């Protein structure tokens, strides 16, 4: 790809470029500062006008979209382990608010190798890997990191075709900076690649490294990390779309179904989905994926209330869509775990549990979604009453 600029001008001010004439060498030490050289590094001041449009080198321009789910390193079902990442070995992990580049928000993961080395976190390869990639395609991976003095962060990236291992594109890059910096690497996936494995680990036993703000983007240039739209302080943008799922539209299964209650309050009447404290209970929603949905992350906000005044509540959503002429009662392949949400301190007050992830939907298809209270990671000692689920996504 080439980029042509129609006009480009450099003004040299009081020191215009001189016409050296034929036979004058641009390598003459006394004249190098008076010409624009064809090769090498050089700083050119002012404005220059070209008689024809300059041509820039070929390259793959990035859209800047982060392919990785949960780039903010929000915690999943396992303590201190980011959602959508797995363990590599038996490291000690500590997840906390980012200190490397805190203006970008999100969390950092401190990895301590507690065994034989090469321990940390990874995106698991295989047929169920969520990190799908295109074959023979250029990608750029970036990560913020910092090492304890004398310690090493290892980064490894490998193509897979299903569960079959392919080429190592990054074979354990050794990173040792003791100040917070951003590392980037560009590679091309294998001709038969379908998914990608990424490893972030501490090299030797006892090594301590910190990582944050991972980004994988299609193209050959590393663009800056940007918080996902769910984290932007400005909230919704003009590209934000949403729809709501209401209790009255839920399907309650005959086995392990949650309650469905109409409440006639002093000022309003409303429905709630009521989830017990002791047992996992479910409900289902069915809807058409909006035509404007372009794929990628969706933010789920579950509006709730409870008589509990302390403790945490957690939910899990499982979902899938179906093609025309496909079996509708198929398994729900995508699971989205919510981080534990502390209930409001006053009984009956509303609060919101949120999660952002890629549900794997395709626009225009019929989708099913199951909601359950995750009692294994929930310690609120009362029913949780769900008022509404707000589903928010962005369009390009």
Question: pLDDT tens, 79-129?
Answer: 889 888 999 998 999 999 999 988 788 899 999 998 777 899 999 877 778
Q: Are residues 298 and 386 in the same domain?
A: yes
Better-scored residue on pLDDT, 23 or 305: 305
| 122-131, 230-239, 293-302, 339-348: segment of lowest average pLDDT | 230-239
Q: Give the per-residue pLDDT at 36.
A: 67
Does 69 map to a domain?
A: no
The pLDDT of residue 27 is 47
Its pTM stands at 0.48
348 DSSP 8-state letter: T
- Residue 230 pLDDT more than 60? no
Q: Are residues 297 and 248 in the same domain?
A: yes
- Can you give the pLDDT at residue 45? 63
pLDDT given at position 76: 74
Q: Is residue 300 part of a domain?
A: yes
Q: Pick the most confident of 71-80, 246-255, 335-344.
A: 246-255
Looking at the fold, whether 377 and 310 belong to one and the same domain comes out as yes
The answer to whether 59 and 220 have CB atoms below 8 angstroms apart is yes
Alpha-carbon distance values, 317 to 27, 46, 300, 337, 352 (Å) = 67, 58, 9, 6, 15
251 and 388: one domain? yes
Asked if 29 and 191 count as a contact pair (C-beta separation under 8 A), the reply is: no
Residue 210 sits in the same domain as residue 255: no
Residue 314's alpha-carbon distances to 114, 355, 376, in angstroms, are 30, 10, 9
Q: Which of 18, 42, 58 is the endpoint of a domain?
A: 58
Domain presence at residue 65? no
pLDDT for the residue numbered 16:
46
In this structure, is residue 81 part of a structural domain?
A: no
In a domain? residue 78: no
Structural domain contains residue 363 = yes
Considering 21, 41, 58, which residue would you say is the last residue of a domain? 58
Tell me the per-residue pLDDT of 1-35, one tens digit each, with 9 for 90 and over: 444 444 444 444 444 444 444 444 444 544 555 66
Which of 155, 185, 218 is where one domain is finished? 218
Residue-range definition of the domain harbouring residue 117: 86-218
Name the phi and psi angles at 102, rounded to 5.
-60, -20
Whether 102 and 187 share a structural domain: yes
- Same domain? 101 vs 205: yes
Does residue 306 sit in the same domain as residue 382? yes
Number of domains in the chain: 3
* pLDDT for the residue 233: 41
132 has pLDDT over 80? yes
Helix (H) or strand (E) holding 322: strand 315-322
**183: helix, coil or strand?**
strand
CATH of the domain at 141: 2.60.120.260
Q: In what order do the strands lie in the sheet containing 366-373? A: 282-288, 366-373, 315-322, 334-337
Please state, rounded to an integer, the average pLDDT across all residues of the chain.
83
Kindly report the number of other CB atoms within 10 A of residue 227's CB atom. 16
Residue 167, in any domain of the structure: yes
- With 0-12 / 13-18 / 19 or more C-beta atoms within 10 angstroms meaning exposed / middle / buried, residue 136 is exposed
| Domain co-membership, 96 together with 213 | yes
Q: How does pLDDT run across 334-369, given as a tens digit for each residue?
A: 999 998 888 888 888 899 999 999 999 999 999 999
Are 203 and 173 within one domain? Answer: yes
Is residue 76 in some structural domain?
Answer: no
Residues 6+ apart with CB under 8 A from 146: 100, 177, 178, 179, 180, 181, 209, 210
Regarding whether 14 and 106 lie in a shared domain, the answer is: no
């Amino acid at each position: 790809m080439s980029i042509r600029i129609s006009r480009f001008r450099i003004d040299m001010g009081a020191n215009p470029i001189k016409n050296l004439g034929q036979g004058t060498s641009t390598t003459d030490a006394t004249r190098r500062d008076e010409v624009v050289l064809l090769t090498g590094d050089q700083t050119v001041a002012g404005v220059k006008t070209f008689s024809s449009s300059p041509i820039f080198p070929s390259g793959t321009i990035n859209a800047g979209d982060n392919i990785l789910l949960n780039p903010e390193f929000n915690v999943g079902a396992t303590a201190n382990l980011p959602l959508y990442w797995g363990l590599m070995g038996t490291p000690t992990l500590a997840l906390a608010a980012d200190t490397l580049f805190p203006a970008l928000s999100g969390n950092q993961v401190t990895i301590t190798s507690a065994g034989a080395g090469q321990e940390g976190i990874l995106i698991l390869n295989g047929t169920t890997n969520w990190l799908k990639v295109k074959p023979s395609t250029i990608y750029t991976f970036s990560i913020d990191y910092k090492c304890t003095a004398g310690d090493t962060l290892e980064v490894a990236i490998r193509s897979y075709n299903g569960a079959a291992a392919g080429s190592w594109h990054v074979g354990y890059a050794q990173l040792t900076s003791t100040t917070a910096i951003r590392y980037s690497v560009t590679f091309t996936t294998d001709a038969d690649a379908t998914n990608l494995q990424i490893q972030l680990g501490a090299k030797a036993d006892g090594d301590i490294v910190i990582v944050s703000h991972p980004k994988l983007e299609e193209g050959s240039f590393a663009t800056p990390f940007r918080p996902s739209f769910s984290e932007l302080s400005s909230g919704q943008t003009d590209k934000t779309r949403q729809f709501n799922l209401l209790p009255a539209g839920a399907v309650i299964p005959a086995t392990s179904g949650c309650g469905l209650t109409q409440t006639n309050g002093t000022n309003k009447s409303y429905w709630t989905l009521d989830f017990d404290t002791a047992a996992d209970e479910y409900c289902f929603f069915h809807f058409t994926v909006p035509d404007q949905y372009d794929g990628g992350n969706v933010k789920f906000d579950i509006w709730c209330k409870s008589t509990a005044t302390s403790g945490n509540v957690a939910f899990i959503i499982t979902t899938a869509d179906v093609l025309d002429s496909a079996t509708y009662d198929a398994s729900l392949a995508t699971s989205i775990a919510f981080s534990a949400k502390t209930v409001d301190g006053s009984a009956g007050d509303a609060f919101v549990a949120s999660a952002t992830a890629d549900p794997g939907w395709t626009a225009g298809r019929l989708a099913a979604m199951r909601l359950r209270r995750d009692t294994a990671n929930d310690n609120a000692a009362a029913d949780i009453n769900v008022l509404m689920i707000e589903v928010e996504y962005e369009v390009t």
